[in-house]
Amino acid sequence: MDTSSTTVTRTEHFGTLGDGTAVHRWTLERGGTRVRVLTYGAIVQSVEVPDRDGAVAPVALGLPDLASYLRYTGPYFGALVGRYANRIGGAAFALDGRTHHLTRNEGRNHVHGGATGFDKRVWDTREVPGGVEMSLVSADGEEGFPGRLEVTVAYTLDEDGALRIGYRATTDAPTVVNLTNHTYWNLAGADSGSALGQRLRIAAGRITPADGESLPTGEFLAVAGTRFDFREPRPVSKEFDHNFVLDEALEGPVAELYDEVSGRVLTVTTTEPGMQLYTADHFDGRPFGPCAGIALETQHFPDSPNRPEFPSTVLRPGEAYVSTTVYGFGVR
């Protein structure tokens, strides 16, 4: 694929952390898409695309400055989430006969990498064909996880302006890995209010039902006849924070979001087996109101380290964790 026509610019110094570490912002432009990413948290700060009339607007929820990202950490706006995205029950798991105790940062459970996950780290960054590659090292024992993990993520724009996110990780000891991007999408515009009513299709015949702690019960629930059936496009409604089991051997996008007013279309293609649909019902107006964006987090399933019936998230020395998700943009 020819990626040489992507314009890549480290446009500015974005801010400085309390320890003096500088944060920068990079801008990628191609095929009518402009994406801005931060070295802090490998955050996708902004995605701008045209509507059916050619009017360009941001469609990803982002914050204006570093201070805002340091203040509003809970929503993980646009961040790369790891070492383990979503939840691990009891903040512990057993691997090869040894129990590993993790940081508890959601009641008794571990969520999204812990107190200082990958979303709160400054990533080393270099330009690569078509975009930027960010990297970091997660030390053995960090947040309780075993193994020294070397991680890279590449943000590139395809020739049609699609945002391609490619993850890779290796370890020196057996561990678990589950990475995702936590961008919230609102195709009517990031400042347009609620995203509810935009039409969503998900190629998933099942979900993994969750209990009151948002942990999977271990069952698989067929979506037919339930509010979880998005196999045909339907408007998004409130109160979704669920993992969808994506249909296997599917060619093409696993999900599509469409805004009838602007005509914008978002497609999601991924190598991952699951996707978390989160409608952000609990946003309180600081800085966004309820349901201001829809998160489509491609992932392995929640609590997989404690659920042998789920696809494995174990990574061993000599192996590589490799995952790709592509967010495509268009109009109709």
**Using 50, 70 and 90 to split pLDDT, how confident is the model at 1?**
very low
For residue range 121-155, list pLDDT tens digits in order: 999 999 999 999 999 999 999 999 999 999 999 99
- Catalytic residue, candidates 110, 112, 182, 300: 182
Which residues have CB under 8 Å from 251's CB, separation 6+? Answer: none
The answer to pTM > 0.95 is: yes
Q: Is 182 a catalytic residue?
A: yes
The burial class, CB within 10 Å (0-12 / 13-18 / 19+), for 101 is exposed
Dihedral sign from CA coordinates of 283, 288, 294, 299:
negative
Dihedral sign from CA coordinates of 142, 100, 213, 153:
positive
For residue range 277-302, list pLDDT tens digits in order: 999 999 999 999 999 999 999 999 99
Half-sphere exposure in the Cβ direction for 248 (13 Å, CA): 1
Q: What value does the mean pLDDT take over residues 303-325?
A: 98
Q: Is 112 a catalytic residue?
A: no
Q: What value does the mean pLDDT take over residues 270-282?
A: 98
Confidence at residue 2, expressed as pLDDT on a 0 to 100 scale: 44
